[in-house]
Amino acid sequence: MPESTVVMKEWQLALCPFVTLFVMASACAAEPIQTECGLVEGVENSAITVYKGIPFAQAPVGDLRWREPQPPLHWQGIRKADSFAPICPQTDPSVPGAPAEPTSEDCLYLNIWTPAHPAGAKLPVMVWIYGGGFSTGSASMPLYWGDRLALRGVLLVTVSYRVGAFGFMAHPELSRESPEHVSGNYGLLDQVAALRWVQRNIAAFGGDPRCVTIFGQSAGSCCVCLLMSSPAAKGLFQRVIAESGAAFPPLAAVPGADVILLKGAEEKGLEIQKKLGAASLAEMRRRPAAEILKASQNMPWMFLLDSQVVSREPYQVFSAGEQVDVPLLLGSNSDEGRPFLEGTTVKASSFRSDLSNTILANIPSSVLAHYPANSDEEAYASRAALERDVRFGWDAWTWARLQSTTGKSPVYYYHFAHVPPARPDSPWLRWGAGHWAELPYVFGHPDQAPGPWTDEDRALSEAIMGYWTNFAKNGNPNGPGLVHWPAFTPAQPQVLHFDSTIHVGGVANLDKLEALDRYFTEARKQPVAGR
């Protein structure tokens, strides 16, 4: 992901007052809670109690590296849940400018924010699955803290999962170890394990295990798409919120998609073994995490099709009406593609050839006709739009169409076009309503990021938090004081637009999405190497 030292420093400075106020609030130890493995003691701050660093699985180290998550160990006495656990090994923050955090393979923990509630309460539960391109991510960065959402009467959980080579590496020896003869997808298995922990334990914190919403952004949104497609996750959640990500494009249209198939993924694992100079899988498990990280550096990571978690492509699952059929709220942003062009020069004269080494390499001329490049300025706008539509826009539209056609549960579709404020020297100013732009509004933390935030921004955040938490409570985002959000249906494809105003309209950029859809429909008929 694009990074900026300026943004990093600005974001950290902006976070300081917020973090200080949170810590200096009248904090005291909360009444211990009994979990399946022992007592945990959180920290109570005014109307919110937070429990940090609760293990939902054993540390995936040593012989447990590249294995399914194992049940957590029991402990004696009271475990103080007053500090976040390290995040999984990675190189860069998953959100540009987010503060650096300590890393460790011992990272399978979750955090819980719960509002004050009467004994026996059954609060709706929202479980956050972070993004980061399957390579990075944090369950504890301040942007994702659940204090503001919890104040709206929900219990907020953030879960950690393995990323990069630790979470998604396949290998022939690993496949031979497995009863299902597959490997990889350990990060997805971590998410399933965390959701099962929630089912077994969340009632003790005041949560309702029968009213769980999973929600995520970017790769986290892709993960909730996969979980909605997976028999392994059935019964673990009752609502889905998906922000800017899914997994619907046909493999034949995606360059390098062979790594989604087991054979290609195993070859990638062998490449890492070769870089390590390791003689066997056992030796790879003995190597320090830093060596694994270095050997796999700059490798793109993705889920893979297996017989365990993701047995079929989500498009096939949804087309057959075999998805986990629950209410769905989803959408994407108007300028998603801009951050992906940071540091890239786009010229009209080389517009087509510059796509050759990117995810857009296979896009045909019939689609590119909708993205004109007659000047350098127009070429940049079209490249950003193409990145937006291929990576996020078409996925959201397709997901909404599939669920509203083959499912019985409602779909609520949004388009986020509000441009967050940014300082003149920040790259966020160039990104508009780009990737990540909605996150401060969703979590109620607009003032964390540097920029001249206004009452309009805060009001938008309040509205979005209202929609999200209403949906978690009722499977319907609507409520008093909010613009009515109609369900998306094939007959009435209505979208809620978050812009200078909140209003109902049609699908944004529909002509471009339809052109992509025609191409993807044909590509789906093509054979895929390695299958």
Q: What is the 3-state secondary structure (H, E, C) of 293-308?
A: HHHCCCCCCCCCCCCC
> By C-alpha distance, which of 365, 406, 389 is closest to 510?
389
Given 418, 435, 445, 497, the catalytic residue: 435
Concatenated DSSP letters for 379-419?
A: HHHHHHHHHHIIIIIHHHHHHHHHHHHH-SS-EEEEEE---
CA separation, residue 407 to residues 211, 273, 512 (Å): 19, 43, 26
Among 336, 404, 426, 497, the one annotated catalytic: 336
Q: Distances in Å between the alpha carbon of 219 and those of 9, 12, 225, 420? A: 25, 24, 10, 22
Residue 193, strand partner residues: none
- What are the pLDDT tens digits along the chain (531 aa)? 333 333 333 333 333 333 433 443 468 988 999 999 999 999 998 899 999 999 999 999 999 999 999 999 999 999 999 999 999 999 988 898 889 999 999 999 999 999 999 989 999 999 999 999 999 999 999 999 999 999 999 999 999 999 999 999 999 999 999 999 999 999 999 999 999 999 999 999 999 999 999 999 999 999 999 999 999 999 999 999 999 999 999 998 988 888 899 999 999 999 999 999 999 999 999 999 999 999 999 899 999 998 889 989 999 999 999 999 999 999 999 999 999 999 999 999 999 999 998 999 999 999 999 999 999 999 999 999 999 999 999 999 999 999 999 999 999 999 999 999 988 888 888 999 999 999 999 999 988 877 789 999 999 999 999 999 999 999 999 999 999 999 999 999 999 999 999 999 999 999 999 999 999 999 999 887 666
What single-letter amino acid sits at 159?
V
Domain boundaries defined on the chain? 5-523
E strands within 30-122? Answer: 33-35, 38-41, 43-45, 48-55, 78-80, 109-115
Residue of 218, 296, 334, 404 with catalytic role:
218
One-letter amino acid at 119 equals A
DSSP label of 349: G
Residue 51 in contact with residue 35, Cβ under 8 Å?
no
Cα separation, 181 vs 209, whole angstroms: 32
Tell me the β-bridge partners of 50. 43, 113
Among 184, 183, 128, CA closest to 160: 128
Q: Is 400 left (phi over 0), alpha (psi -120 to 50) or beta?
A: alpha
60 close to 108: Cβ distance less than 8 angstroms: yes
For 37, the token pair is: 């493995």
Q: What would the two tokens of residue 294 be?
A: 């270095």
Please tell us whether the domain made up of 5-523 is placed in CATH 3.40.50.1820: yes
Token readout for 90 is: 């990675």
Strand boundaries in 247-323, DSSP class E:
none
Provide the pLDDT for residue 26.
61
DSSP symbol at 70: P
Is pTM beyond 0.85 here? yes
Give SS3 for 272: helix
319 is catalytic: no
Q: Among positive and negative, which fits the CA dihedral 12, 13, 18, 22?
A: positive
The residue type found at 170 is: A
Q: Residue 97's pLDDT is what?
A: 84
pLDDT at 5: 30
SS3 state at 512: helix
445 in catalytic set: no
3 state SS of 517:
helix
**Structural Rg of the chain based on CA atoms:** 22
Other beta carbons within 10 angstroms of residue 381's beta carbon come to 17
Backbone angles phi, psi at 447, to 5 degrees: -75, -5
Q: DSSP 3-state assignment of 159?
A: strand
- Closest Cα to residue 122, out of 468, 471, 472? 472
pLDDT at 527: 81
Is 181 annotated in the active site? no
Contact 435, 119 (CB under 8 A): no
Q: In degrees, to the nearest 5, what angle opens at C-alpha 37 toward C-alphas 35 and 109? A: 85
Provide DSSP, 420-453. ----TTSTHHHHSSBTTTTHHHHTT-GGGSSS--
Alpha-carbon distances of 409 from 295, 323, 331, 433, rounded to whole Å: 44, 11, 17, 29
State the Cα–Cα distance between residues 6 and 452, nearest whole angstrom.
16
